[in-house]
Amino acid sequence: MYGRKAFKLITELDLSADIQPFNEVIVKEVLQEMHSLYDANMSDSNAIRNEDNVALLPSVQLRHIALTRNKRCVLAYIYNRMSKLRELRWELGSILPPEINTNLLNAERQWFQSYNKSLATYMRSLGEDQGFNLTANMLPPKTPYVEVKCVVDFGKLELEDGQIILLKKNTYHLLPRAVCEPLIRQGILEHNST
């Protein structure tokens, strides 16, 4: 039955929220099926045109529908992977963790690097001299400062106003949210839950 392999690609997306290794085997099988459908349609279309055999028309239409469905499934699979990569860029920053990076094709890595460059160029163009980091506050802050607990011995941290804070393990600080967000993502700080 046509389209079963393409359907496997789509169900693979539903089964996991993370980026799994690119399923080259099934994508190649879907493309081979598409080539055989196209070849069969070309043969039957020529028969319809040359011999006026309209009895072949329903099978041509069925194969054409299967072709477009397979195409949509492959494109949805690729688009979904790119969307997840875009989301990861905003959540994790410009460097992907190794467990995600190993699941990507070389073309996907190149796309991610290109997206990083485009986003960085755009953020540098905002603001006056130093640009504006759009990834700093993913949700609107309730307050400009946040109370955090230092999880590891980090050392000195210089704030924008020149003040130097010593971040030692198990110490609590009230710091600007823009400074804390990247350190929280890196696991150096955590929100104080008390």
Domain positions in the chain: 4-125, 145-191
Q: In what order do the strands lie in the sheet containing 172-176?
A: 172-176, 145-150, 189-191
The class level of CATH for 4-125 reads mainly alpha
Question: Counting runs of H as helices and runs of E as strands, what totals does the chain give?
Answer: 6, 5
Asked if residues 180 and 146 have their Cβ atoms less than 8 Å apart, the reply is yes
119-157: pLDDT as tens digits: 989 988 887 777 777 777 667 767 788 899 999 998 898
Number of Cβ within 10 Å of residue 147's Cβ equals 14
Entry pTM? 0.69
**CATH second-level architecture of 145-191?**
3-Layer(aba) Sandwich (3.40)
Show the low-confidence residues of the chain (pLDDT under 70): 137-138, 141, 193-194
Task: Determine whether 135 is exposed, middle or buried from the number of CB atoms within 10 Å of its CB (0-12, 13-18, 19+).
Answer: middle
